[in-house]
Amino acid sequence: MKKIAFIGSGTMGTALATAACKGISPSEVVLTDVVVEKGKKLAEELGCHFVDTNAEAIESSQYVVFCVKPQFLKSVLTEVKPVFERCASAGEEKVIVSIVAGVEVSTYQEELGLAGKNVSVIRILPNTACLIGRGFILIEQGDSYTEEQEKEFRYILREAGGFDSLPASQFVAGTVLTSTSPAFIAMFANSLADGGVYNGLLRAQARRYALEGILGTVQLLLQSEKHLEGLKDDVCSPAGPAMIGVKTLEDTGFRSSVINAVADAYKRFAEIGKIK
Ligand SMILES: NC(=O)c1ccc[n+]([C@@H]2O[C@H](COP(=O)([O-])OP(=O)(O)OC[C@H]3O[C@@H](n4cnc5c(N)ncnc54)[C@H](OP(=O)(O)O)[C@@H]3O)[C@@H](O)[C@H]2O)c1
């Protein structure tokens, strides 16, 4: 029996399988993908196994992570339902791990007919930085898995980055911040770089200085207990350039744009979770 299977070798399948292959032996890790060449190539790079069918991956593994887009989840669950039934009848322990945005534990239980079967479900939400070991994985608290399973799962994926667990009532709010913020931060970084180019820097210089500015700021803020905008106050000297820039951002609705983006993303999570 292998330890963990990833169904789908796209962005997140790649990021999580990469972390798993650093945390445990790659011989314990299995991948699938509809595009066979893509899955095989990744498995070769990581030194883990590629198998042709989702059924084979599930049968051979204790933990099964579904890494497909929400619109494909229903058909994948319909396809693999008989496999879970077979494994449950044989008394094999299976732990489903959901990373699919917006999809609740009950969806897996209903779609796979898991009531009364020996199948646990852990709902998590990772982000793309798991690929380089700087991701953050939120775990929804609940009674659909055991403490030992959560502990083991964290162990398998410890090379992905940090973890936190949240009650169901806060899980979506947490996941919206950790999973959508990379998109917003990338846009912000590129906008900073555009400003640098506008002022005469080469693109490559502007890109690097914008990213160094963000990286150093984040590291400084993580080490401090101070209010996040305390740093802004430290940087803004009287009538200085930073304060002038802060006023421009305020005039153009910077804060409300960001707050609205996070609020709108939260609404969308509930919609995409209703799989058809
Ligand atoms: N990307 C993020 O930042 C992020 C963050 C948190 C959570 N998530 C969640 O992670 C999930 C995957 O997202 P992603 O960005 O990794 O998507 P993605 O890059 O499209 O990866 C999905 C992979 O699954 C493959 N696939 C599709 N149908 C399949 C099937 N029946 N059996 C096996 N593999 C199949 C796809 O093949 P093709 O090559 O044909 O497309 C693709 O390689 C989503 O549900 C999303 O909500 C994503």
State which ligand 1 atom lies nearest to the alpha carbon of 13: 16
Which residue, among 6, 271, 2, has the nearest Cα to 126 in the 3D structure? Answer: 6
| Average confidence (pLDDT) over 5-24 | 96
pLDDT digit string, tens, across residues 132-174? 999 999 999 999 999 999 999 999 999 999 999 999 999 999 9
Residue 236 CA to residue 213 CA, distance in Å, equals 15
What type of residue sits at position 145? Y
The segment(s) of the chain belonging to CATH 1.10.3730.10 are: 175-272
Atom of ligand 1 nearest to the CA of 102: 47
Averaged pLDDT for residues 257-275: 86
Confidence of residue 42 (pLDDT cuts 50, 70, 90): very high
Which atom number of ligand 1 is nearest to the Cα of residue 14?
16
Model confidence at 274, pLDDT cuts 50, 70, 90, reads low
CA of 269 to the centre of ligand 1 (A): 16
Query: Region 62-72: what's the mean pLDDT?
Result: 94
- Range 2-166: architecture per CATH: 3-Layer(aba) Sandwich (3.40)
Q: For 182-239, write each residue's pLDDT tens digit.
A: 999 999 999 999 999 999 999 999 999 999 999 999 999 999 988 999 999 999 999 9
Helix (H) or strand (E) holding 122: strand 119-125
Residue 91: band (very low, low, confident or very high) from pLDDT cuts 50, 70, 90:
confident
> Chain-wide mean pLDDT for the chain?
94
Residue 25's SS3 state is: coil
Least confident segment among 4-18, 113-127, 172-186, 211-225: 113-127
Measured N-to-C along each axis, helices 241-251 and 254-272 cross at an angle, to the nearest 10 degrees, of: 50
Which pLDDT belongs to residue 273? Answer: 64
Pocket of ligand 1 (CB under 6 A): 7-13, 32-35, 38, 54, 67-70, 72, 76, 99-101, 125-128, 179
> Ligand 1, closest atom to CA 32?
33
Q: Quote the pTM value.
A: 0.89
Q: Which of 96, 181, 108, 104 is nearest to 140 (CA)?
A: 104
Residue of 16, 52, 58, 67 best suited for mutating to test ligand 1, as the one with most atoms within 8 Å of CB: 67
Q: How far is the CA of 2 from the centre of ligand 1 (A)?
A: 22
Residue ranges of the chain that CATH labels 3.40.50.720: 2-166
2: three-class secondary structure by DSSP: strand
Backbone phi and psi for residue 91, each to the nearest 5 degrees, phi listed first: 75, 20
Percent of the chain's residues with pLDDT above 70? 99
**pLDDT bracket for residue 88 (50, 70, 90):** confident
Question: Residue whose CA is closest, atom 31 of ligand 1?
Answer: 76
Nearest Cα to Cα of residue 53 among 39, 41, 74: 39
Which one has a higher pLDDT value, 117 or 232? 232
Atom of ligand 1 at shortest range from CA of 79:
31
Helix axes 147-156, 11-23, angle to 10 degrees: 90
pLDDT at 17: 97
Structure-token pair, residue 183: 């998109």
DSSP run (H or E) holding 191:
helix 168-198
Please give the pLDDT value at position 93.
Answer: 87
- Assigned architecture for domain 175-272: Orthogonal Bundle (1.10)
Pocket test for ligand 1, best of 6, 50, 68 (most atoms within 8 A of CB): 68
Identify whether the C-beta of residue 137 lies closer than 8 Å to the C-beta of residue 163.
Answer: yes
C-alpha 141 to ligand 1 mean position (Å): 24
